[in-house]
Amino acid sequence: MHTLAYGTDASFYRLVPKMVIKAKDEQEVSLILSECNRMEIPVTFRAAGTSLSGQAVTDSVLIVAGSGWTKRSIYDNGDYIKLQPGLIGGYVNKLLAPYGKKIGPDPASINAAMIGGIAANNASGMCCGTSANSYKTTAGMRIVFADGSALDTSDKSSRENFSKEHEKMISDISRLARQVKENQSLSERIGKKYKIKNTTGFSLNALTDFTDPFDIIEHLMIGSEGTLGFISEITYKTVSELPHKASSLMLFPDIRNACLATIILKQTPVQAVELIDRAGLKSVENEQGISAAIKLLDEHACALLVETAASCSEKLKENISVIKNSLTSIPTLFDIEFTAIAAEYELLWKIRKGLFPSVGAMRESGTTVIIEDVAFPIEYLADSAIDLRAILDRHKYSEAVIFGHALDGNLHFVFTQDFTSAAEIDRYGKMMAEISELVVKKYDGSLKAEHGTGRNMAPFVELEWGAEAYQLMKEIKRIFDPKGILNPGVILNDDNSAHLKNLKPLPIADDIIDKCIECGFCEPSCISTDMTLSPRQRIAVYREIKSLTDSGKQPHIAASLIKGYKYSGDSTCATDGLCAMNCPVKIDTGQMIKRIRKLNIRGNEKIALLLADNMHLLTAVMRSGLKKLAFFHSILGTAAFTALTGFLRTISFKSIPKWNEYMPAGAKKINIKSAESTDCTNKVVYFPSCINRAMGVSRDHKNEKQLSETLISLIKKGGFEIIFPSDMDKLCCGMAFMSKGCTKAGEKKSAELGESLLKASENGKYPVLCDMSPCLYTMKENLSNDLQIYEPVEFILKFLMPNLTVEPVNETISVFPVCSMKKMGLDGKLKELAQMCSTKVVVSDTNCCGFAGDKGFTVPELNKHGLRHLKDQLHSEGVKHGYSTSRTCEIGLSLHSGISHKSIVYLVDSVTKKLNNKNLTSCQ
């Protein structure tokens, strides 16, 4: 199952590796390569697998160098950064932000793509053009070659040793460079071709731009797509991130005028100019932030999204004026207006970045979405764009969207394609042949501007470059990789129809996931990525299971996939939905898993309904069970009790949940009378979650009151009278049932809760507070909009803080925004509240803790995996106490960081006092 899962990248090719190796370090890569070289076994490298041209898939050995490869060092006040290949580009930019810097390459996929892939594809985006890509900004590299040998281009002794051990390679490279420089027509051609973006074939400009063989090697590695060696480290010269920005969506009567405007804009202080044709505008006309006027434009209209940036606001105004004045000779449909409001221009750029996926989201299920990536010399941009549209129309791809980095002559065209019939494959093949002729013969452009040659353009490299340059590329490959083991078939491929082979099937499987384009953007946010399956892999494997079961083919394979999926697909999915947050088509893979659970639940739904009807008994049993456990823990001590419960779990085949030392004792029953108050001007309905009604304090907090008591005291201090919903003991938000697929029981509990809260709040007159963020999220999703419902952070900030004085603690604390807070966009609020209460706040770098209600007890390895970096982060930052808003998550956070975590309510209560002599804030 796992080899199948790793057989997918973001391209429309599928090859299933025979072996997937998650290499740990350079020594391992070196060993694997030297052995594969000896045995002549092909090897492909993988970083994030977001490549679009089929360069990150293989049917041989796949070496994954992703999440474990994250070491980095920043030098010279942010001017240089040394990076391992598994760091995500967007994360690197976050590290550089305090220095006012960023890395040059800026692919739209930067929040998922990793440094190894960014460098090996020479990826670029809207701003970097040809002047700040990896080729132009690399400043040193560590490389492992096919024979297992390593070189550090920035280390003198490494270069000397390498020269001695690889004398022939070094002299061959120097000879090639000399030959090319002496060949005037070839070197002129190379110079011309790199005036525009080009990732077709190897980076031949390395041979004309440099003389030192190590500089040549380093620059040939850029854009080599894993076919020349492995990049184990790269140093980038960073670029400045100008702080003042403004953007304008300019509308032109037609594509010709938009392209003519682009040529003029190239001479002005613009950072980016993105073209969006009429079909592209149509695909986003309903997005928030897009003017309603777009819908009324005629069929020829075309837009340019333009950005300018400056070091100060005065300079920014000057830039805008220069840009506007430069375009007076070009007709526009509306006056040109810029916005410098971050929220407004960020929305425009978000829409632009989402163009490719938005076409993907509109496609028919079962078809593929393809993005092509060509570039033309900018002086021919208008004619070439018009010709391109004509070819698309002729081959009946009229729905295709054309957009791209106009400033660099780089146009993308996106269309949907059915690969299930020979006729459709033939149509695609003919259209691509015609486009190749257009790009190469008519305009001498690039067939791949930034996405890399891959398998997709490999058959066309000779067409684009000509026989002489093509032979040069073959010679380079022979020098670096004489046995041809590195990513064969990619960049150079003698098979004329390689681009039409190994096409990826995308069978209809489930409407929740059918729109998935397998881009991999969801992988960094998923807890089980790298442990079992990522969301993309869950989908890819599920598609295969459905296809096999529906067709009845290969039943033994289907059965083995289904068996493996139980744990890797189902049990280890936290169903937290974080995958949807970064998904360009908003797929929540957890919803599909819940649907699968529902199908498998059958008889258990009856038990769930029984439990739901007896919630009060269930919490009482939990309370007493936890009290008993706490009693034995106090007698036996942590070590002995951990060993005993571990043993019981083992002999019960893991049916007994895993106990740990941070497990709480049972809670005391909530004393409703304690909430009575005489001097309050406001009222709030407090719904204590069933978890907090059952779980009391753990041993590390034994001197504290339980959460409900602390919250009651804080609410009263903030001037609110508390109303408890009637039948509180029987109530539950239903999440625990729904997440297990017991939808009926979950919906029943949710309906009961909604009814009770409406009554208690007098139909929404008073706010409702729940003490667990995950429960609150479920309530927000399911309950009536008449209710104003809050989790603790938002409620405290909005209603209580104005009525309290604060004396912040002078110690470093951490906060962990749980998944539901992230999904509700409240993570910033948690930090804000914590910063009011402490002098130094660290936000945990971890995305999801994986406790997922009870998975921390039943699948504890998921929790351990999710929090594997937490301890190092919190200890290195000197954190003393951790805070969050979910009782169960706090158990896992304490266990895996060794730092006690509890609700932020405790912190707020301990640092605040009632504000005297002031009218208390009213909520009515």
Ligand X SMILES: Cc1cc2nc3c(=O)[nH]c(=O)nc-3n(C[C@H](O)[C@H](O)[C@H](O)COP(=O)(O)OP(=O)(O)OC[C@H]3O[C@@H](n4cnc5c(N)ncnc54)[C@H](O)[C@@H]3O)c2cc1C
User: Where does this chain bind ligand X (CB under 6 A)?
Assistant: 9-10, 44-52, 55-56, 65, 85, 107-109, 113-114, 116-118, 120-121, 123-125, 225-226, 230-231, 356-357, 450-452, 487, 519
Among 576, 771, 791, 909, binds ligand SF4 (CB under 6 A): 576
User: Of the two residues 589 and 885, which places its CB atom closer to ligand SF4 in the complex?
Assistant: 589
Q: Please report how close the Cβ of residue 649 comes to ligand SF4 at its closest, in angstroms.
A: 23
Residue 596, Cβ neighbours under 10 Å: how many? 20
Residue 778's binding partner among ligand SF4, ligand X, none (Cβ under 5 to 8 angstroms by kind) is none
Residue 505, Cβ neighbours under 10 Å: how many? 13
The closest of 720, 628, 650, 666 to 914, measured between CA atoms, is: 720
Among 48, 239, 522, 769, binds ligand SF4 (CB under 6 A): 522
- CA–CA separation, 57 vs 498, rounded Å? 14
Residue 120's binding partner among ligand X, ligand SF4, none (Cβ under 5 to 8 angstroms by kind) is ligand X
Check residue 517 for interaction with ligand SF4 (CB under 6 A): yes
Q: Please report how close the Cβ of residue 914 comes to ligand SF4 at its closest, in angstroms.
A: 41
- CA–CA separation, 687 vs 693, rounded Å? 10
Q: How many binding residues for ligand SF4 (CB under 6 A)? A: 28
Residue 746's binding partner among ligand SF4, ligand X, none (Cβ under 5 to 8 angstroms by kind) is none
3-class secondary structure for 447-469? CCCCCCCCCCCHHHHHHHHCHHH
Q: Please report how close the Cβ of residue 596 comes to ligand SF4 at its closest, in angstroms.
A: 11
771 touches 777 (CB < 8 A):
no
User: Of the two residues 336 and 517, which places its CB atom closer to ligand SF4 in the complex?
Assistant: 517
Give the nearest residue (CB) to ligand X: 117
Q: Please report how close the Cβ of residue 198 comes to ligand X at its closest, in angstroms.
A: 12
Check residue 403 for interaction with ligand SF4 (CB under 6 A): no
Check residue 48 for interaction with ligand SF4 (CB under 6 A): no
User: Can you name the residues that pair with 249 across neighbouring β-strands?
Assistant: 305
Q: Please report how close the Cβ of residue 764 comes to ligand SF4 at its closest, in angstroms.
A: 31
User: Of the two residues 696 and 850, which places its CB atom closer to ligand SF4 in the complex?
Assistant: 850
The token pair at 654 is 């893991």
Q: Please report how close the Cβ of residue 652 comes to ligand X at its closest, in angstroms.
A: 41
- CA–CA separation, 348 vs 247, rounded Å? 8
Angstrom distances, CA of residue 139 to CA of 142, 218, 230, 233: 11, 9, 16, 11
Give the nearest residue (CB) to ligand SF4: 590
User: Of the two residues 127 and 836, which places its CB atom closer to ligand X in the complex?
Assistant: 127
Residue 516's binding partner among ligand SF4, ligand X, none (Cβ under 5 to 8 angstroms by kind) is ligand SF4
User: Of the two residues 122 and 692, which places its CB atom closer to ligand X in the complex?
Assistant: 122
Q: How many CA atoms lie within 13 A of 631 on its CB side?
A: 7
User: Of the two residues 370 and 545, which places its CB atom closer to ligand X in the complex?
Assistant: 370
Q: How many CA atoms lie within 13 A of 116 on its CB side?
A: 32
The closest of 202, 211, 213 to 472, measured between CA atoms, is: 202
Q: Please report how close the Cβ of residue 124 comes to ligand SF4 at its closest, in angstroms.
A: 21
User: Of the two residues 277 and 450, which places its CB atom closer to ligand X in the complex?
Assistant: 450
Residue 573's binding partner among ligand X, ligand SF4, none (Cβ under 5 to 8 angstroms by kind) is ligand SF4
User: Of the two residues 189 and 594, which places its CB atom closer to ligand SF4 in the complex?
Assistant: 594
Residue 664's binding partner among ligand X, ligand SF4, none (Cβ under 5 to 8 angstroms by kind) is none
Q: Please report how close the Cβ of residue 62 comes to ligand X at its closest, in angstroms.
A: 9
Q: Please report how close the Cβ of residue 69 comes to ligand X at its closest, in angstroms.
A: 8
**Non-local CB neighbours of 126 within 8 Å, separated by 6+ positions:** 106, 108, 272, 274, 307, 349, 352, 405
Listed in sequence order, the DSSP H helices in 235-294 are: 255-265, 278-283
User: Can you name the residues that pair with 234 across neighbouring β-strands?
Assistant: 83, 141
787 touches 766 (CB < 8 A):
no
Residue 719's binding partner among ligand X, ligand SF4, none (Cβ under 5 to 8 angstroms by kind) is none
User: Of the two residues 574 and 626, which places its CB atom closer to ligand SF4 in the complex?
Assistant: 574
Angle at 42 between CA 36 and CA 44, to 5 degrees: 105
User: Of the two residues 316 and 583, which places its CB atom closer to ligand SF4 in the complex?
Assistant: 583
Angstrom distances, CA of residue 468 to CA of 336, 472, 689: 48, 6, 73
Q: Please report how close the Cβ of residue 50 comes to ligand X at its closest, in angstroms.
A: 3
Q: Please report how close the Cβ of residue 849 comes to ligand SF4 at its closest, in angstroms.
A: 11
Among 526, 545, 733, 821, binds ligand SF4 (CB under 6 A): 526
User: Of the two residues 307 and 827, which places its CB atom closer to ligand SF4 in the complex?
Assistant: 827
DSSP SS3 for 235: strand
Among 282, 536, 740, 822, binds ligand SF4 (CB under 6 A): 536
Check residue 574 for interaction with ligand SF4 (CB under 6 A): yes
Residue 124's binding partner among ligand SF4, ligand X, none (Cβ under 5 to 8 angstroms by kind) is ligand X
DSSP structure class, residue 296:
G
DSSP SS3 for 414: strand
Residue 535's binding partner among ligand X, ligand SF4, none (Cβ under 5 to 8 angstroms by kind) is ligand SF4
Check residue 578 for interaction with ligand SF4 (CB under 6 A): yes
Torsion sign over Cα 709, 714, 719, 723 = negative
- CA–CA separation, 622 vs 693, rounded Å? 9
In one-letter notation, the amino acid at residue 203 is S
Q: Categorise residue 923: left if φ over 0, alpha if ψ from -120 to 50, beta otherwise.
A: alpha
- CA–CA separation, 105 vs 915, rounded Å? 52
- CA–CA separation, 7 vs 456, rounded Å? 16
Residue 172: its H or E element? helix 167-182
Check residue 590 for interaction with ligand SF4 (CB under 6 A): yes
E strands, 59-122, where? Answer: 61-64, 72-75, 80-83, 101-102
Angstrom distances, CA of residue 377 to CA of 194, 208, 266, 374, 462: 10, 20, 13, 11, 19
Q: Please report how close the Cβ of residue 696 comes to ligand X at its closest, in angstroms.
A: 46
- CA–CA separation, 818 vs 300, rounded Å? 47
User: Of the two residues 138 and 847, which places its CB atom closer to ligand SF4 in the complex?
Assistant: 847
Among 85, 107, 229, 535, binds ligand SF4 (CB under 6 A): 535
Among 37, 589, 884, 903, binds ligand SF4 (CB under 6 A): 589
The token pair at 225 is 């797509």
User: Of the two residues 134 and 528, which places its CB atom closer to ligand SF4 in the complex?
Assistant: 528
Residue 109's binding partner among ligand SF4, ligand X, none (Cβ under 5 to 8 angstroms by kind) is ligand X
Find the radius of gyration of the CA atoms of the chain. Answer: 30
User: Of the two residues 233 and 277, which places its CB atom closer to ligand X in the complex?
Assistant: 233
Residue 579's binding partner among ligand SF4, ligand X, none (Cβ under 5 to 8 angstroms by kind) is ligand SF4
Q: Please report how close the Cβ of residue 451 comes to ligand X at its closest, in angstroms.
A: 5
In one-letter notation, the amino acid at residue 733 is C
709 touches 674 (CB < 8 A):
yes
Check residue 528 for interaction with ligand SF4 (CB under 6 A): yes
- CA–CA separation, 453 vs 678, rounded Å? 74
Give the interface with ligand SF4 as residue ranges (CB under 6 A): 516-522, 525-528, 535-536, 538-539, 573-579, 583, 585, 587, 589-590, 593
